[in-house]
Amino acid sequence: MSRIELVNLRKEYGNVVAVNSMDLTIEDGEFIVFVGPSGCGKTTTLRMIAGFEDPTAGDIRINGEVVNEKEPGDRDLGMVFQSHALFPHKNVADNIAFGLRMKKVPKDEQARKVQEVSELVRITHLLGKMPAQCSGGESQRIALARTLVTEPSNFLLDEPLSSLDAKLRRELRAECDRLHDELQKTFVYVTHDQEEAMTLADRIVVMNQGKIVQMGSPMEIYSNPVSYFVADFFGNPAMNLVEGEFVAGANGLEFHSSQFNIPLPGKFKDATPGKGSLGIRPENVTIGETGGGASINSEIELVEPLGKDTLLYFGTDADRPFVAVVEGTQEVKRHANVDVGFPDDAIFLFDANGDRIR
Amino acid sequence: MSMTKSQRRHAFSAFRYFVLTIWLLIVAFPIFWMVSTSFKPDREWFAWPPVYISENATLQNYLTVWADVSEYATDETGKLETYTQSLQRPWEALGNSALISVISTTLTVLFGSVLAYGVSRYGILSEGRMFQLLMLRMVPPIVLIAPISIWYSALGLLDSITGLVMLYFLTTLPYAVWMSKSFIDEVPREMEQAAEILGASRMRTIWEVVLPLVRSGLVATFLFILILTWSEYLLALLLSKTEVVTLPVELSKYQGSTEGRVYGRQAALSVGITLPLIVVGLMIRKHLARGFSFGMVRR
């Protein structure tokens, strides 16, 4: 049973507040992902859990025990670094055995465990090589093995895949998922990549400016963002977010922007008029269908076929073009005028502060 | 007429070799002259036109200086010969030099690298302090000699090995800190943290992770400082010239009002002073190449 608790955790560097009074409980076996833009405090939080940074205030508890004063090596943690941080002067087998040697595990048991873990992450063919002879993906697998072999109950992973190319990243992402499944240990994973967060996490912690903005399962965060920031951060292609104004019209509230004006669904009738923005996910925008909500007639300015899907761009002269996703099989022509529909239940409204209007 | 790209490249390359060759000749000539003179019989030391490579090459200079073997038939005065034999003690000077420079260099590199680790990892000296440390070296040593002499005489450190070791340790420490810091800075912090979280203590981490990675750099630092102390003349001359004589001071005795200018002997001694450094350099050349290019070979 292992549980990591952050209680009122705070970190300041001079006048800069990197982590602002954070409370979080990470349950045993959970795969939790800290995600946010760079400088949001996610890595600082991870480094405080690891023991490389001392909190300015607050406690870190692991298995119920306050570990603030404990050395990193005594916290029952394993950590994988963005830079792999393999020891360049030791061969792969010695790298992996390092933690076992520090824990004074007998020699023959060391060898057995190194072999075991190398099979688990499929690097047995690399054991005799030096780290410099291994590719980026291999290095990251070795770093994983070096951490796994000491059998900690919690794994900290600091942007472990960000130095790899897209294909390897996908491959190792699946590997992380498989390992978590197999080991049933707690994984705390930091990334700035929303896709990694979506695919890996049991629970996502979205951070911005040192604070937790939203916490929840990937689908919760995707379908129910609490703010403009979260809505904008998750999803690819990103949510259409149009700046404008809520205006009281004849038949209830309307949304006016430089691109279009539409009436808003009845559920927003009590919202305060004023500046704000309207959001709708590209895959929820309907093309050429009517019914179920407001619609406008607009010209398709750009067509981007991606195979399975096709992206349609409207209003490309605005700061952010308005994007719709349709099935790849659907016949669409550039410069054609189509009906662009806004289904009632797909519309998100955010006030001038970026908070969600419900 | 315009040249093609490859012609231009060849022309530039030829020009570069030309300049480098001239430069090599300029820097190598004194060394050549030293070696050549050390084998010349006394008549050729001052000869004009100069003798570049003696046809009467002899080992007499070496024998006189290092083995105290008298010359047989020369037209020099007997007085000089007696003087040379009775007063000069090259082997003793070699021993002193070796002892002083090895001890002080070892101490300097040891303390300097530990200090540098603290600066690199814990910021124990601010950037300003680090600069001040280097500024210490900007003070001409000669202006310090009066206070040091007074203190040394009071403490009984004049003309002693301890006195010179202490002084060399202090004057070369800034170099050691700056040089080894640059090597330690190259070791990623994450590498140490990886070791720590795997259960290694701080000392263990330094021993197993940091030290092997900066070893070449420290060896380069060691050689650099060894050269400085080995060839230091001014402080050694002023603080110790009768009891504890070092090689550079010994060398200076071959030119003076009583001795005249015994160039051949001096050259023979010079070769003896230079050789140990060359030998040490050759022994550790693997580290030197890596030490001086560390940071450029990051993966």
Q: How many CB atoms lie within 10 A of CB B188?
A: 16
What pLDDT score does A295 carry? 84
Position of tokens 């205030």?
A57
User: At A129, is the secondary structure helix, strand, or coil?
Assistant: coil
What pLDDT score does A291 carry? 64
What pLDDT score does A70 carry? 92
pLDDT confidence tier of residue B297, bands split at 50, 70 and 90: very low
* A interface test, pick of B198, B206, B290 with most A CB neighbours within 10 Å: B198
How do residues B243-267 score in pLDDT, each as one tens digit?
A: 888 999 888 888 776 666 788 888 9
**pLDDT at residue A269 above 90?**
no
Interface contact flag, A50 B195, Cβ < 8 Å: no
| Total domains present in chain A | 2
**pLDDT at residue A207 above 70?**
yes
**pLDDT at residue A189 above 90?**
yes
Interface contact flag, B199 A102, Cβ < 8 Å: yes
| Total domains present in chain B | 2
Nearest residue on chain A to B201, alpha-carbon basis: A73
| Of residues A82, A99, A131, nearest to B198 (C-beta) | A99
Do A175 and A54 fall within a single domain? yes
Average pLDDT over all residues of chain B:
85
**pLDDT at residue A328 above 90?**
no
**pLDDT at residue A92 above 90?**
yes
Nearest residue on chain B to A82, alpha-carbon basis: B190
Do B221 and B157 fall within a single domain? yes
pLDDT confidence tier of residue B1, bands split at 50, 70 and 90: low
pLDDT confidence tier of residue B127, bands split at 50, 70 and 90: confident
Strands A240-249 and A337-343, bridge-based pairing: unpaired
**pLDDT at residue B213 above 80?**
yes
Mean of the pLDDT values across residues A106-113?
Answer: 94
What pLDDT score does B257 carry? 63
**pLDDT at residue B270 above 50?**
yes
Higher pLDDT, A148 or A162: A148
In chain B, residues with a C-beta closer than 8 Å to the C-beta of A49 are none
What pLDDT score does A123 carry? 92
In chain A, residues with a C-beta closer than 8 Å to the C-beta of B197 are 50-51, 72-73, 75, 77-79
B182: closest CA of chain A, how far (Å): 18
Q: Is residue A231 part of a domain?
A: no
Interface contact flag, B299 A88, Cβ < 8 Å: yes
| Of residues A89, A98, A132, nearest to B198 (C-beta) | A98
Interface contact flag, A78 B188, Cβ < 8 Å: no
Do B107 and B209 fall within a single domain? yes
Q: Is residue B13 part of a domain?
A: yes
**CATH number of the domain to which B122 belongs:** 1.10.3720.10
- Taking one residue from A and the other from B, the number of pairs with CB-CB distance under 8 angstroms is 63
What pLDDT score does B295 carry? 45
Q: Is residue A229 part of a domain?
A: no
Do A243 and A216 fall within a single domain? no
Do B137 and B76 fall within a single domain? no
Non-local (6+) Cβ contacts of B79 within 8 A are none
Do B64 and B211 fall within a single domain? no
pLDDT confidence tier of residue B75, bands split at 50, 70 and 90: very low
In chain A, residues with a C-beta closer than 8 Å to the C-beta of B213 are 88-89
Average pLDDT over all residues of chain A:
90
Output the 3-class SS for B199-268: CCCHHHHHHHHHHHHHHHHHHHHHHHHHHHHHCCCHHHHHHCCCCCCCHHHHHHCCEECCCEECHHHHHH
* Of A343-352, B139-148, B192-201, the least confident: B139-148
Strands A186-191 and A203-208, bridge-based pairing: unpaired
| Structure token pair of residue B160 | 């002693």
In chain A, residues with a C-beta closer than 8 Å to the C-beta of B208 are 87, 98
| Of residues A72, A85, A89, nearest to B188 (C-beta) | A85
* B interface test, pick of A80, A82, A87, A153 with most B CB neighbours within 10 Å: A87
Q: Is residue B298 part of a domain?
A: no
Q: Give the residue from B87, B114, B142 where a domain finishes.
A: B87
Q: How far is the C-alpha of B77 from the C-alpha of B82, rounded, in Å?
A: 9
- For residue B18, give its domain range: 5-87
Do B60 and B164 fall within a single domain? no
Mean of the pLDDT values across residues A310-338?
Answer: 87
Q: Give the residue from B26, B55, B87 where a domain finishes.
A: B87
Do B54 and B177 fall within a single domain? no
Percent of chain B scoring above 70 in pLDDT: 88
In chain A, residues with a C-beta closer than 8 Å to the C-beta of B195 are 87, 98, 102
Do B238 and B284 fall within a single domain? yes
Do A190 and A91 fall within a single domain? yes
**pLDDT at residue A332 above 70?**
yes
How do residues A71-84 score in pLDDT, each as one tens digit?
A: 999 998 999 998 88
Interface contact flag, B193 A102, Cβ < 8 Å: no
Q: Give the residue from B60, B87, B114 where a domain finishes.
A: B87
How do residues A5-61 score in pLDDT, each as one tens digit?
A: 999 999 999 899 999 989 999 999 999 999 999 889 999 999 999 999 999 999 999
How do residues B18-61 score in pLDDT, each as one tens digit?
A: 999 999 999 999 999 999 999 998 888 888 888 888 888 888 88
Interface contact flag, A102 B299, Cβ < 8 Å: no
DSSP A168-206: HHHHHHHHHHHHHHHH--EEEEEES-HHHHHHH-SEEEE
